[in-house]
A and B are shown apart, each in its own frame.
Chain A
């Protein structure tokens, strides 16, 4: 069986989650590897959520927020941009493939973009193969 990655998505309620809904409403098909957590704003995303997602076995993590300047909370995504950029640098220096972590600004009207990003990202993660580095296995193996 071919490798089907698990991709964790974290989407802001106002733009990307709504954009994802729009992709559905317009019946745009994309791979089913993404599982989305809805948060109110991309700025809610604690860097440790990203580390944890990889520990839980996510092969890729996709964060979606409003375009800079369009944040429902004015400036949330501007903070998120900096904080997630640092998160990515940390993952990269630790030796994880930085491509496994992606941040995209997807507005509520960009159902197309959502479907396209998920399709692209899923293909990219398939290419990269399973993420084994941060994934927790010790606890599981011994049970």
Chain B
């Protein structure tokens, strides 16, 4: 029997899965994305480098700083400039705050896909706390447009350090509760352990990125592999699990949130005083050439490939987003999985269709 899951289906987000089931087992799954395709790459060719910022972060407003970060780095690479040190730390704080909110969103949807509505509500509620925190720097709830080539738009207020410290303290306690209540119970184990196993070899072969990759035992994190901004000055661990199943993916998200909080704390301590924005001309005209910048966003390695012809507009801008790279793993993992596990397996891969469709 062939089932069309989505685009209007509680278990699919913004995309469609055409799955063939034999009894309760999925024998074939074919993703049908494109329901949110908005032509960002073409639009970027008719906007200048600053005008591109707001629409580029829209595909992933769940992790707005994460998707903007490599764009800014790529433009800086083309210009041959870099951000002042304080701006680098503020960028890192924003990126990590967004990582936490994005992971909390991941957790809540994971919960609803497991049939656990409390697991939807609690992380949603705690996400607001971090949104408040990033609102102090960014100014709006989720779409900040805060990073610009050559720095950030605005400095962090003085009260930020205190509030961040308090929030992190609060949230560490909450994380323990989450683990105790949602993860370490037999029902959750039964639904996730050994389900949708992505082996290390396959993860490498399919070029999976982000938490799914680390859950499969590959210790790869762009922040470590190719440290950008001040990531080489902070101390953090890359969580790795070797099982590669849904449970490992869930655990990676928990561990990453802890590491992010530790990075935020270190950044606040190490952050120097100084300007947050380099003086650049209002109309950026990078010299002809090309740049490929990548960062580790919440959902995995995010990369931009920009070709410049020396004009006001990018000649070609390619968004190589994490979700689109994980799309290939969906049909691969869903084969042989129970129908009931279909939403958790595909969501566990951190596939966010809006981001993948661009």
Q: Do A and B bind each other?
A: no
Q: Residues of B with Cβ closer than 8 Å to A?
A: none
